[in-house]
Structure 1
C-alpha cells in the first residue's frame, strides 16, 4: 500500500511539474531516462550475480557464515566483504533483504551494509588522491569503528 502511495505522489508531482513548465519537465524526463539506461545494465548484472550466489549457496551455508550463531566470525566476514566490495545502495539493500530471508543475522547484515556504504578499500587510492592520505585513512577508520558499534547494537537489539 505504501508503494502505491509513493507512486501516486510521484505521478502527481510529475503532472504538477508538467503543468508548470512543459519544456523543463521533458528535459528532466529525458535525463532521468538516460540515467536509467546507464544504471540498468549494472543493476541487471548484479541481480544476476545475486541470483546465482543465492542459487549456489543454500540458506544453511548463509546461516552458517552470516547467521546470528556465526557470532564474531560472521561479523568479521561481513566486515571484510562489505569493506572490499563496491556495490551501489540500490543493489545493497535488496541483497541484504535476500540474505536476511536466507538466514543471515541482523548484526551481520548491518555490518555488511554499513561497511559497504561507508568503508572504501577499493576506492581508497582515489580518496587519497583527492583528500590526502591522512584524511582518507581517518575517514575509513572512523567509518569502520562506526560500523562495528552500530552493528553490535543492532545485533543486540534484534
Structure 2
C-alpha cells in the first residue's frame, strides 16, 4: 500500500511539474528513464534470484535458516551474500523485503547491507593503489563492522 501512495505522489508531482515547468519535467523524465535503463540489469538479476529462491527453496526452510533458529549459519549466509552482491543497494530492497516476510531478521539485513561495502571486483584495484596490507586490514575491519552492526540491531530487536 505504501508503494502505491508513493507512486501516486510521484505521478502527481510530475503532472504539477509539467504544468509549471514543462522543459524541466521532460528533462527529469529523461534522466529517470536513463537511470531505469542503467539499473534494469541488476533488477532483472534480483527478480531472477527471487524467482529461483521461491522455486527451488522451500519458504519454510529458508525462514528456518534466516530466522532465530538459523544461528551462526544465518549470520554466515547474510555476511557472504552481502559481500558477493553487486549493483545499487536499492535494487536489492524487493528481494530483502520478500525474505523479511519469510522470516529474515533485521539484524541479518543490517549485516547484509553493511557487508556490501566489500567490493570483490574492486579488490585488485584497491591493492594496486593502497597495497595488499591496507586492503586486507580495511576489509577485515569492514567485515567486523558489519558483524557489529548486525549485533547492535539484534540487541535492539530483543529489547
For normalisation by structure 1, the TM-score amounts to: 0.77
- Match status 1:154 vs 2:132: no
Q: Secondary structure at the match of 2:120?
A: coil
Unaligned runs of 5+ in 1: none
Please list the CA deviations of residues 48-77 of structure 1 after superposition, one character each: whole Å capped at 9, or x if unmatched. Answer: 221112221112321343221222232122
Structure 1 residues 137, 99: closer, same or farther in 2, change over 3 A? same
After TM superposition, list the pairs within 5 Å mapping 1:111-122 onto structure 2: 111-116=111-116, 118-122=117-121
Give the match for residue 74 of structure 1: 74
Count of paired positions: 156
CA distance, structure 2, for counterparts of residue 41 and residue 77 of structure 1: 24
Is 2:53 the counterpart of 1:53? yes
Report the equivalent of 1:89. 89
The verdict on how the C-alpha distance between 1:3 and 1:60 changes in structure 2, with shifts beyond 3 A counting, is closer
What TM-score comes out, normalization by structure 2 length?
0.76
Match of 2:38 in 1: 38
Task: Check 1:15–1:58 CA distance in 2 against 1; reply closer, same or farther (3 A cut).
Answer: same
Shift of 1:96: 1.5
- What do you get for the CA RMSD once the two structures are aligned? 2.7
Aligned counterpart for 1:132 among listed residues 130, 133, 149 = 130
In structure 1, distance between residues paired with 2:135 and 2:10: 38
What is the CA–CA distance in structure 1 between the aligned matches of 2:134 and 2:6, rounded to whole Å?
39
What's 2:140 paired with?
141
In the TM superposition, structure 1's runs of 4+ consecutive aligned residues that sit over 6 Å from their partners are none
Cα gap change, 1:79/1:8 in structure 2, threshold over 3 Å: closer, same or farther?
Answer: same
